[in-house]
Amino acid sequence: MPVLFAARDGSAVGAAHAGWRGLAAGVLEKTVRKLDVAPADLLVWLGPTIGQSNFEVGEDVRTAFMAGDVQAASAFEANSRGRWQCDLYALARRRLARLGVSAIFGTGGGAGRGDGWCTYADAARFFSFRRDGQCGRMAALIWLE
C-alpha cells in the first residue's frame, strides 16, 4: 500500500510502501519520525492495496501485529480454513492513530471490511501478482514545489 504524508503547512512530504511486513516493522512510524513534523500536523493518504476479503494470512502475521498491540486483533477475521483475513487499511490507520495522526484519508477504513480499492478484486484498474501470477507496477507521487 502506498502511503503519502504531507505537513499541513506544506513544509514537508514523504512516502512509504507499507505491505504487511513493512507495517509490522514500523515503516509508518519511521516515516513520521523522519519527517520531523508533529503527527497532529500531518495529512496522510492510504492508497490501493489488497483488501481484507482477499488477503488471507497465517497466525505468524497476526502474531507479528499483536506482539506490540493486542488491539490489532480487530483487523483480523477468522476464516473457515483456520487462517485469517487481514485488513491492512485498519492496521495502518491504527498505527497512525497511535502516533497521534488523525487526518487519514484515501481508501479503505470505513465501517466493516476495509476493502477500499482492492488491488486483487479490481482487475480493470490494478495489477495483482496474487491474482495474475505476473508482476506489474503502480506509482503514487507526492512532491513540493
What's the Cα-to-Cα distance from 51 to each of 12, 99, 101, 114, 120, rounded to whole Å?
A: 29, 23, 22, 6, 7
Residue 111, pLDDT > 60, answer no
Confirm whether 44 is domain-assigned. Answer: yes
Confirm whether 57 is domain-assigned. Answer: no
User: Which residues, including other chains, have CB under 8 Å from residue 27's CB and lie 6 or more apart?
Assistant: 16, 17, 18
Rounded to the nearest 5°, which phi and psi values hold at 94? -65, -45
Confirm whether 71 is domain-assigned. Answer: no
Report DSSP state, residue 49: B
Report DSSP state, residue 18: -
Interaxial angle between packed helices 88-99 and 27-35, expressed in degrees from 0 to 180 and rounded to the nearest 10: 40
Question: 16 forms bridges with which residues in the sheet?
Answer: 3
Confirm whether 98 is domain-assigned. Answer: yes
Confirm whether 67 is domain-assigned. Answer: no
pLDDT digits (tens, 9 = 90+) for 74-106: 999 999 999 999 999 999 999 999 999 999 998
pLDDT digits (tens, 9 = 90+) for 50-64: 999 999 999 999 999
pLDDT digits (tens, 9 = 90+) for 125-135: 887 877 878 87
Write down the pLDDT at residue 133: 80
Confirm whether 34 is domain-assigned. Answer: yes
Confirm whether 139 is domain-assigned. Answer: no
User: CA–CA separation, 110 vs 11, rounded Å?
Assistant: 29
> Which residue range forms the structural domain that includes residue 46?
2-52+89-132
User: CA–CA separation, 145 vs 141, rounded Å?
Assistant: 13
Q: Output the domain CATH number for residue 32.
A: 3.60.140.10
First CA to last CA distance, the chain: 25
Confirm whether 140 is domain-assigned. Answer: no
Task: Please count the structural domains in the chain.
Answer: 1
Write down the pLDDT at residue 110: 47
